[in-house]
């Protein structure tokens, strides 16, 4: 399945509209539509943002993920991640598919509990 179709599938699985994904990612709605229609392939920085918004591993979106040199991926990810986030990502990558699903569920559950939510400034 292509990247665009995977984005669409995960977006629909999350019950999100293209507009909501656009708002969540800061990527123009027309661009989201074009990715899903396979008119354009998202670059790694956009793919990372979309994956984060959909709560999936970036490799789940891009069938050619293995073609991207690991050093490029690692450098790209480290640019915007704190040390804690990098450690969490490394731990996440050691999990099998069932473990990854469970980790995403648990993180999602934590985001719903007020005492764990960030206070808006």
- Rounded to an integer, what distance in angstroms lies between the CA atom of residue 94 and that of residue 113? 26
Alpha helices in the chain (DSSP H): 3-13, 18-25, 29-36, 44-54, 70-79, 83-93, 97-111
Residue 51's pLDDT is what? 85
Residue 39's pLDDT is what? 94
pLDDT, tens digit, 9 for 90 and up, residues 75-100: 655 566 665 676 677 677 778 889 98
Residue identified by tokens 């939510």 is: 117
Residue 80's pLDDT is what? 66
Residue 64's pLDDT is what? 64
pLDDT below 50 — which residues of the chain? Answer: none
The count of other CB atoms within 10 Å of the CB of residue 14 is: 14
Asked if residue 5 lies in contact with residue 36, where contact means CB atoms within 8 angstroms, the answer is yes
* pTM, 2 dp: 0.56
Nearest partner of 2 among 50, 48, 57, 65, judged by Cα: 65
């Amino acid at each position: 399945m292509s990247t665009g179709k995977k984005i669409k599938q995960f977006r629909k699985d999350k019950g999100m509209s293209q507009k909501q994904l656009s708002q969540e990612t800061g990527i123009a709605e027309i661009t989201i539509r074009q990715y899903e229609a396979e008119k354009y392939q998202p670059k790694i920085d956009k793919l990372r943002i979309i994956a984060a918004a959909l709560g999936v591993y970036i490799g789940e979106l891009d069938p050619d993920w293995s073609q991207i040199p690991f050093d490029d991926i690692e450098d790209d990810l480290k640019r915007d991640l704190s040390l804690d986030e990098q450690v969490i990502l490394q731990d996440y990558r050691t999990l099998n598919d069932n473990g990854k699903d469970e980790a995403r569920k648990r993180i999602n559950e934590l985001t719903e509990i007020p005492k764990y939510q960030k206070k808006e400034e």
